[in-house]
Amino acid sequence: MKSKKVPQATISRFPLYLRALVNLLAREVRIVSSQQLAEEVGTNSAQIRKDFSHVGEFGTRGVGYIVEDLIEQISKFLGLLRSKKVILVGAGKFGSSLLSYQGFRERGFEVVAAFDIDQRKIGKKAGGVTVQNVDEIEETVKNIGRVDVGIIATPAGAAQEAAERLVKAGVKSILNLVPVNLEAPEGVPLRSVDLSGELQILSYYLLRTETKRGPKKRPK
Amino acid sequence: MKSKKVPQATISRFPLYLRALVNLLAREVRIVSSQQLAEEVGTNSAQIRKDFSHVGEFGTRGVGYIVEDLIEQISKFLGLLRSKKVILVGAGKFGSSLLSYQGFRERGFEVVAAFDIDQRKIGKKAGGVTVQNVDEIEETVKNIGRVDVGIIATPAGAAQEAAERLVKAGVKSILNLVPVNLEAPEGVPLRSVDLSGELQILSYYLLRTETKRGPKKRPK
DNA sequence: CTATGTGAAGAACTTCACAGCT
DNA sequence: AGCTGTGAAGTTCTTCACATAG
């Protein structure tokens, strides 16, 4: 293991590996080679070995990787051993659909509170949490103790303010689902997902796939 | 302009530029420099100029870019001039929240049909479309004529089959929102978004931000 | 004088290919 | 004999720095 910086690209593949490994374990596969795992996630074995090598030496030469151990190692590396508390700002249809989304909980992310500015949404219950007034963010966060992630799912015009409130309340990181370029202070990790943007990218590849001919590379 | 392959990384930034430009236009900004635009999207001016240079020469030296023209050029390049038809498979809370999401429509993506396997969901209406039985995908797609994107928002176990049905029905590309590694044939562009994965990546950066010290690079 | 467009340098990432363990 | 771990080679992407155009 070369203990230097782990590439961003590697980090963003770990969730894929983790997912595949959990599936393998569910299928009672105990040991997996980089080759097999590569097939599971749709990449190549060198990529996998290199990615792992940045973090440690998890495998056994001539054998492969013990699925269970690998899950543990990756989880540890990503900081997933302790479960995480998440709150949501923006309880519209999209936002509140996340409150009952089991996928988060299964992976150790618990949505513990939700906020909106709209009186009609405040008080509504979904996925076990009651929507509160945004003004209560700070107090609620204080009561919860530690909130790891704030998910923003407001209308575009309200997203930046939502981010600021989250930061002010001491929420540790932000997942922005609104198509807006958010500013967050240094030290507050921020990631954005833009579904419309994804559609636009697909649109591009559509154009090329249908026009041109010959071997295609799948968009990443 | 060096008319060669446009880098994938460039493609995936175009939606960001487009968004920023549309905002600028709404603020009645007519002309923008690479410097200003860079600030809007949170990158640097060299990146922007290089990205544009792959597609054409859109600017005027000493002046900048005409916002309106640039929007047109990028839209054209991404194939966004014609509006796109989208269908949805999986009309649970998450899926059906997308049916009434205005952001898609604003950007020219119209969700024209939705499908589910669950009798309780079939017949329900959301965002102007009525949820149909998945068995009707093929016929409905035929009636629509051309479906550009199929969005998959089923439970994990049903996602691969949904993808296959979409492909069989002739849907041109797939946006997968389910945390599963989907297989799609060559020639059917596929993109996946995994919100849990995003949370896991944040978890990693959280760990590092809080442990280590010194200048931080924001995760991309 | 200002801001673009772009070769060239540099950095990041991926793939190769094989030495090194088991 | 088989599969990992990894330097090295190759590729892609980003940033620099400046010639070029207005």
Tell me the count of A-B CB pairs closer than 8 A.
214
Q: What is the pLDDT of residues A97-125, one digit of tens each?
A: 999 999 999 999 999 999 999 999 999 99
Q: Is the CB of B43 under 7 A from strand D?
A: yes
Q: In angstroms, what separates the C-alpha of B58 from chain A's closest C-alpha?
A: 19
pLDDT-derived band of residue A209, with 50, 70 and 90 as boundaries? confident
Q: Which residues in chain B have their CB less than 8 angstroms from residue A18's CB?
A: 200
Q: What is the pLDDT of residue A1?
A: 63
Q: Inter-chain contact B20–A210, Cβ cutoff 8 Å?
A: no
Q: With 80 as the cut, is the pLDDT of residue A81 above it? A: yes
Please give the pLDDT value at position B210.
74
Reference A29, options A67, A63, A64, A70; nearest CA is A67
Which pLDDT value is given to residue B95? 98
Task: Identify which of A179, A191, A218 has the shortest CB distance to residue B201.
Answer: A191
> Which of A196, A207, A211, A220 to mutate against chain B (most B CBs within 10 Å)?
A196
Element (H, E) at A50: helix A45-53
pLDDT surpassing 60 at residue A180: yes
pLDDT band at A58 (very low <50, low <70, confident <90, very high): very high
Say which DSSP state A149 is in. E
Token pair 């002010």 is at which residue? Answer: A168
**CA B179, B181, B184, B186 torsion-angle sign:** positive
Per cent of chain A over pLDDT 90 is 92
Q: Give the Cα separation of A30 and B113 in Å (integer).
A: 42
Q: Would you tell me which residues have their CB within 7 A of strand C? A: A 7-10, 43-44, 46-47, 49-50, 60-63; B 1-2, 33-35, 45-46, 49-50, 52-53, 57-65
Q: Mean pLDDT in chain A?
A: 95
Q: Answer yes or no: is pLDDT of A171 > 90.
A: yes
Question: Quick check: A45 pLDDT over 60?
Answer: yes
Chain D bases having any atom below 7 Å from a protein CB = 1-8, 12-17, 20-22
A148-165 pLDDT, tens digit each: 999 999 999 999 999 999
Q: What is the pLDDT of residue B2?
A: 57
* Residue B75, CB, strand D, below 7 Å: no
Instruction: Return the pLDDT at B216.
Output: 45
Nearest CA in chain B to A172: B206
Q: How far is CA B79 from CA A81, B84, B101, B187, in A?
A: 44, 9, 21, 17
pLDDT over 80 (residue A74): yes
Residues A5-41: tens digit of each pLDDT: 899 999 999 999 999 999 999 999 999 999 999 999 9
DSSP A60: B
Distance from CA of A62 to the nearest CA of B (A): 27
Which residues does chain A have within 8 Å of residue B177's beta carbon, measured at their own beta carbons?
Answer: 195
Give, in Å, how far the C1' of D17 lies from the CA of A112. 51
Listed as ranges, residues in chain B with pLDDT below 70 are 1-3, 211-220
Look at B11 and A206 and tell me if their CB atoms are within 8 Å: no
**Six-digit token string for A163:** 């981010």
At residue B214, the pLDDT reads 46
CA closest to C1' of C5 belongs to B53
- Considering only CB atoms, which chain B residues are within 8 Å of A152? none
Q: Which residues of chain A (50-109) touch nucleic strand D at CB < 7 A? A: 50, 52-53, 57-65
- Predicted model pTM: 0.95
Find out whether A210 and B189 touch, Cβ atoms under 8 Å.
no
To the nearest whole angstrom, how far is the Cα of A188 from the nearest Cα of chain B? Answer: 8
Give mean pLDDT, residues A53-69. 97
